[in-house]
């Protein structure tokens, strides 16, 4: 019964659109990382709980410059694209995929290459406070399973997909699955092997991952849907990322991406649709009914999406929605930065951009707040994944980070006489860089 | 004759839209910081110059993980707003000014308060590689002169304006100049005192700084114009930052901001107009004819500008244009980050945002490239200020930074087998954070 506890100042977002600031809260969790209680100084048993952990030497006490946050959830990131993060972004999407991305992803079949980059990526994301990441890997099973082993070894919660793409007319010949049959048997083998790697620890999860409609044959989508129903695992894919992607599906199937995924049984409570820029009202209704989720990737969208995701509406309609870095379509490996981008991008959407239009320039009342973005980065991400993470409450898992505003190279400046708790929260969201994240826990285990 | 030299890999942008990468270049500068020569290994006198500085112990040699860049130029930043950087950004501009900004700026008349924050700000900007900053200070002369002393003492090149604002109907009663006469005599005294502080070192410069049209009486603008003509000093102000600001000028004067500044003799070769979102064709013609410049502040614009500055057109029409952080309307004290924001904001403008529009959503061919943003951050900034900075060429001043991609907490990952010089440049622009900037020089003096 070796429970541990953390004592310190807490920010989290149990309710969408609001934040809770707890001063000197004590959070207790068990050996599996499950939170057993969260107590504050006004509660009658607070002193006895704190004292018990002090006596048992199981208490970690934070300083006044340190703030405890739920771990950040990255709902969409392409692990193999890490080495090119921050380059090629001047290119159009098609050239970026063919000149940079597909050649790079194909290299991971080489063990030396993946051993060079996957550990560095996972270390980087943990260092930036990402306690849970949903990864696209590559089409190569061995490489994708290696990524799962790296995440397990480093202690990051990870949902990992071997990428499925078999449509030879849409993929380069050096980076496409040999046949639909092989694609399906590889996808199933991957699921089984990840379940074996996880060994019931709940740290790494397999994800069925059709890249997107254009690169998948109709048979592949249908076959993957059957796997999802059989194994009840997560699904990730891209939906309506751009005008081109939307139009492709309409021309090939006379359907939207959401309709295609729904009909192939790929749309479930555990499906994460990246981007989803162009959704019909019917699509949104379907997503809500099923309980599927959306990974909003604002920085990537600025480069490649052709329009702004209607985030305000998604939040107001209670869709499951969280944030993704979309490495390397978005170059920054930080979900705090994704919060900043989500807010600023929503402001640009609200105002519009075209100075020649004196009216109807933007879309009024579509901004999102920093507090809403913070909710998406934590609690919203956990809800989207259907995992008990993202908020400090009994029954949830203790995935957490400490932002130390006094850490060397911290860019967060807090002035206690000038800054309210809301100010401090907003400053931390805006200014936290990697050096300010002094500790990271996943499942109650310290991983940074 | 104590010349010094730096030997290392260089990136700079002598020509707009292009970059130059010099391997093992040797840059020599004199005791005043003026560059005397830039030589590369293919030049016949390279070896003898390098050898001479080695023998004289006047050579600094960089490692292969270090890259030398021109110092970054921040054309628009509000020094007193530093303590609130990153907070209040959910508020509308009017509430943000009245609840946060004006109360904060008024505190700087208190010597303790300014001594607490101005040195921290200048240290922060230098640490982020800003070798030249154009500052709005406050209406208080003593506080604004103190900022100049801090910049001189810390060795940052600074153009500093005591803010002029006398229009009682538009300013809070606790933060407005007592009369137009006092405003003008204070502005003139400030110019004289900064010239005295500078003591012919060329490091700190006075700037005539009408806040913006709404807060200045007509007489104040006219009087400041006369001071500018007399002292031939720089000018900074806000122009057409929002629908409201544009409409205000039109209603009060039936003129654009540019027309108002031009008629009051405030528009000169050394004038920097912040934002300038809504410019008429005639305005742009006037700006170009006069040789005035524009400080583009993309992140601040996303929050407050109501539209996107037509940056593509400004670059193509050869207007003087550079980048500003606009602290704290923009919360990030980094001009590298402003480059990232300029590129992504231009992409959003090009594509448009409104998913309900299936055509005419954006403004085609208006993106700017990372290389263009880098030019703005360095050479373009220097041109805008009419100062010999921003590029490594004989006659220019040695203001420079070293980005060390191997520094502790550097987020820049360079892989020599995978990254071209263009890739390295883009990665450095996107990923450089404060810890990666290992050295900073201004006027040939090391200041970080």
Q: How much of chain B is in helix, strand and coil states, percent to nearest 5?
A: 40, 20, 35
pLDDT per residue over A225-257, tens digit each? 999 999 999 999 999 999 999 999 999 999 999
Average pLDDT over residues B104-128: 98
Amino acid B248: pLDDT: 96
Q: Would you state the pLDDT for residue B91?
A: 85
For residue B2, the model assigns a pLDDT of 87
Mean pLDDT over the full length of chain B? 97
Judge if pTM exceeds 0.95.
Answer: yes
For residue A328, the 8-state DSSP code is T
CB contact under 8 Å between B354 and A349, yes or no, is yes
Residue ranges of the alpha helices (H) in B232-280? Answer: 243-253, 257-263
Average pLDDT value for residue range B257-269: 98
- Across A142-164, average pLDDT: 98
In the 8-state DSSP scheme, what is residue A435?
A: G
Whether A358 and A345 have beta carbons less than 8 Å apart is answered as: no
The tokens describing B274, both together, are 């912040």
Q: Residue A147: which residues within 8 A CB-CB, separation 6 or more?
A: A79, A114, A118, A122, A135, A137, A158, A160
Chain A residues with CB under 8 Å of B302 CB are 344-345, 347-348
3-state DSSP assignment of residue B295: strand
Chain B touched by A86 (CB under 8 Å): yes
The interface residues of chain B toward chain A in range 264-283, judged by CB-CB distance below 8 A, are 277-278
User: Chain A contact for B413, CB < 8 A?
Assistant: yes
Span A148-168, average pLDDT? 98
A307 interaction partners in chain B (CB closer than 8 Å)? 351-355, 361
Q: How far apart are CA B448 and CA B446, in angstroms?
A: 6
**pLDDT of B219 strictly over 70:** yes
Predicted local confidence at residue B200, as pLDDT = 82
Name B404's bridge partners.
B66
In chain B, pLDDT over 90 holds for what percent of residues?
Answer: 95
And the tokens for B359? Answer: 């055509």
Q: Could you tell me which CATH number the domain at B4-70+390-446 has?
A: 2.30.40.10
Q: What pLDDT shows up at residue B92?
A: 81
pLDDT at residue B236 greater than cutoff 80: yes
Start-to-end C-alpha separation, chain A: 24
Nearest-by-Cβ selection for A353 from B120, B333, B352: B352
Comparing C-alpha atoms, which of A138, A193, A135 is closest to residue A165?
Answer: A138
Q: Using 50, 70 and 90 to split pLDDT, how confident is the model at B1?
A: low
pLDDT for the residue numbered A200: 83
Which contiguous run of DSSP H or E holds residue A36?
A: strand A35-39
Which tokens in the block code for residue A256?
A: 């939207």
Beta strands A437-442 and A35-39 are unpaired
A117 pLDDT higher than 80: yes
Span B302-338, pLDDT tens digits? 999 999 999 999 999 999 999 999 999 999 999 999 9
Per DSSP, helices labelled H in A211-334 are 218-231, 243-253, 257-263, 281-290, 298-304, 311-316
- Mean pLDDT in residue range A120-149: 98
User: Is the omega angle on the peptide bond into residue B328 within 30 degrees of 0, that is, cis?
Assistant: yes
Q: State the smallest CA–CA distance between residue B373 and chain A in angstroms.
A: 12
Contacts of A415 in chain B (CB under 8 A): 83
Q: What is the mean pLDDT of chain A?
A: 97
Query: At residue A170, does pLDDT exceed 90?
Result: yes
Instruction: Tell me the HSE value of B70 on the side-chain side, using a 13 A CA sphere.
Output: 28
Residue the block writes with tokens 């990923």? B431
Taking contacts as CB-CB distances below 8 angstroms, the residues of chain B near A411 are 124, 333, 433-434
CA distance between the termini of chain B: 24
- H helices of B31-92, in order, are 46-55
CB atoms within 10 A of CB B55: 9
3-state secondary structure (DSSP) of residue B8: strand
pLDDT at A1 exceeding the cut of 80: no
Domain boundaries, chain A: 4-70+391-446, 72-385
Cβ contact, residue pair B307, A353, below 8 Å: yes
CATH superfamily of domain region A4-70+391-446: Urease, subunit C, domain 1 (2.30.40.10)
Q: Note the pLDDT of residue A90.
A: 87
Structure tokens of A126? 């943990």
The pLDDT tens digits for B161-193 are 999 999 999 999 999 999 999 999 999 999 999
Residue B95 has what pLDDT? 87
Torsions phi, psi for A112 (to 5 deg): -60, -40
Whether B355 sits inside 8 A of A307 (CB atoms) is: yes
Query: Is the per-residue pLDDT at A205 higher than 90?
Result: yes
- Please return the burial class of A384, using the count of CB atoms within 10 Å of its CB with bins 0-12, 13-18 and 19+: buried
Q: What is the pLDDT of residue A92?
A: 81
Taking CB atoms within 8 Å and a gap of at least 24, the contacts of B61-65 are B61/B6, B61/B7, B61/B8, B62/B6, B62/B7, B62/B8, B62/B9, B62/B402, B63/B8, B63/B404, B63/B406, B64/B9, B65/B404, B65/B405, B65/B406, B65/B414
- The pLDDT, as a whole number, for residue A62 is 98
Rounded CA separation A123/A36 (Å): 29
B207 touches B190 (CB < 8 A): no
CB-neighbour burial class of residue A45 (10 A; exposed 0-12, middle 13-18, buried 19+): exposed
- CB-nearest to B307 from A349, A355, A413 is A355
Q: Shortest CA distance to A444 belongs to which of A198, A135, A203?
A: A203
Q: Band of the pLDDT at A148, cuts 50, 70, 90?
A: very high
What's the mean pLDDT in A261-281? 98
B388 touches chain A (CB under 8 A): no
Q: What is the mean pLDDT of residues A186-214?
A: 96
pLDDT at site A363: 97
Q: Do A434 and B409 touch (CB under 8 A)?
A: yes
Is pLDDT above 90 for B14?
yes
Nearest to residue A303, comparing CAs of B303, B347, B425, B199?
A: B347
* pLDDT of B389 over the 70 cut: yes
Percent of chain A with pLDDT over 90: 95
pLDDT band at B94 (very low <50, low <70, confident <90, very high): confident
Q: Can you tell me the distance from the alpha carbon of A422 to that of B89, in angstroms, rounded to the nearest whole number? A: 11
CB A411 within 8 A of CB A436: yes
Give mean pLDDT, residues B62-73.
98
Which B residues 304-343 touch A at CB under 8 Å? 305-310, 331-333, 343
C-alpha span between B323 and B144 (Å, rounded): 23
Q: Would you tell me the crossing angle of helices B218-231 and B180-198 to the nearest 10 degrees?
A: 30
For A345, name the nearest residue in chain B, comparing CA atoms only.
B302
Query: What average pLDDT score do residues A356-379 get?
Result: 96
Give contacts of A352 with chain B, Cβ < 8 Å: 306-307, 353-354
- How large is the average pLDDT for residues A363-382? 98
- Classify domain B72-385 at the CATH class level: alpha beta
Bridge partners, B402 (sequence order)? B68, B439
Integer Cα distance of A77 and B306 in angstroms: 31
């Amino acid at each position: 019964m070796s429970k541990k506890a953390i004592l310190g100042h807490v920010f989290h977002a149990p309710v969408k659109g609001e934040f809770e600031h707890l001063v000197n809260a004590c959070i207790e969790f068990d050996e599996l990382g499950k939170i057993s209680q969260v107590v504050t100084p006004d509660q009658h048993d607070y002193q006895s709980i704190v004292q018990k952990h002090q006596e048992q030497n199981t208490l970690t006490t934070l300083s006044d410059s340190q703030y405890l946050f739920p771990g950040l959830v990255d709902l969409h990131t392409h692990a193999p694209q890490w080495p090119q993060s921050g380059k090629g972004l001047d290119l159009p999407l098609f050239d970026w995929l063919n000149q940079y991305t597909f050649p790079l992803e194909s290299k991971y079949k080489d063990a030396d290459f993946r051993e060079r980059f996957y550990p560095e990526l996972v270390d980087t994301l943990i260092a930036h406070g990402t306690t849970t990441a949903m990864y696209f890997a590559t089409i190569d099973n061995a490489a994708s399973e290696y990524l799962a082993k790296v995440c397990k070894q480093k202690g990051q919660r990870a949902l990992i997909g071997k990428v499925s793409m078999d449509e030879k007319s849409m993929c380069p010949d050096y980076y496409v699955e040999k046949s639909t049959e092989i694609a399906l048997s590889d996808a199933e083998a991957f699921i089984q092997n990840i379940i074996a790697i996880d060994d019931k620890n709940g740290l790494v999860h397999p994800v069925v991952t059709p890249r997107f409609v254009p690169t998948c044959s109709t048979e592949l989508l249908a076959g993957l849907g059957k796997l999802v129903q059989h194994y009840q695992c997560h699904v990730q894919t891209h939906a309506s990322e751009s005008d081109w992607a939307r139009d492709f599906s309409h021309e090939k199937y006379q359907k939207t991406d959401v309709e295609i995924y729904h009909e192939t049984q790929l749309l479930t409570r555990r499906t994460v649709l990246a981007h989803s820029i162009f959704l019909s009202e019917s699509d949104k209704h379907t997503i809500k009914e099923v309980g599927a989720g959306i990974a909003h990737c604002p920085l990537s969208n600025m480069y490649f999406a052709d329009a702004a995701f209607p985030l305000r509406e998604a939040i107001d309609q209670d869709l499951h929605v969280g944030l993704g870095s979309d490495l390397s379509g978005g170059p920054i490996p930080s979900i705090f930065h994704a919060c900043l981008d989500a807010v600023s991008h929503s402001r640009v959407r609200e105002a519009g951009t075209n100075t020649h239009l004196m009216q109807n320039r933007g879309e009024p009342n579509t901004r999102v707040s920093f507090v809403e973005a913070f909710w998406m980065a934590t609690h919203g991400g956990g809800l989207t994944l259907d995992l008990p993470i993202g908020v400090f409450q009994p029954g949830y898992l203790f995935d957490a980070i400490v932002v130390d505003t006094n850490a060397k190279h911290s860019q967060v400046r807090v002035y206690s006489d000038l800054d309210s708790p809301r100010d401090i929260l907003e400053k931390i969201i805006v200014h936290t860089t990697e050096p300010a994240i002094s500790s990271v826990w996943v499942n109650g285990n310290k991983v940074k």
